[in-house]
Amino acid sequence: MRTFALSLGLTAIIIAVALGYALAVGSLTGLPPVALLLAFVPGGVAEMGILALLVGVDPIFVATHHLVRVLLVYAVIPTLAARGSGAGGTSLAKRDSDSVD
């Protein structure tokens, strides 16, 4: 039950943050907040595209934002992992394989 409550709370926080950004960007750009919310909220590209169609938002706009987010994650996470792998510059995988005998 504790895990469910934590998951529900985290989901609410993520949606609230996405809504806040959607409203802020919408007020600055004039784009519809519902389109921005669907673009900013985490989820699958296909699912958000279908939701965009259902609410009358351009699914290409929504899918493009999700694709850019995924590509950024794939580009940034390995860089951060390499920087955080230790002072000697060895990767975590190499250090783990060295310790197994």
Mean pLDDT by 10 residues, the chain (101 residues): 94 94 96 94 88 94 92 89 67 55 51
What pLDDT was estimated at residue 96? 54
State the pLDDT at residue 11.
92
| Total structural domains within the chain | 1
Q: What is the pTM of this model?
A: 0.70
Give phi and psi for 44, each to the nearest 5: -70, 145
Question: What pLDDT score was predicted for residue 64?
Answer: 94
Q: Which two tokens stand for residue 73?
A: 């994650």
Domain of residue 78 covers 2-99
Q: Where are the beta strands (DSSP E) in 1-101?
A: none
Pair of tokens at residue 96: 């783990």
Own/partner contacts of 17-21, CB < 8 Å, gap of 24 or more, are: 18/42
CA distance 31 to 22: 9
On whether the CB atoms of residues 21 and 47 are closer than 8 A, the answer is no
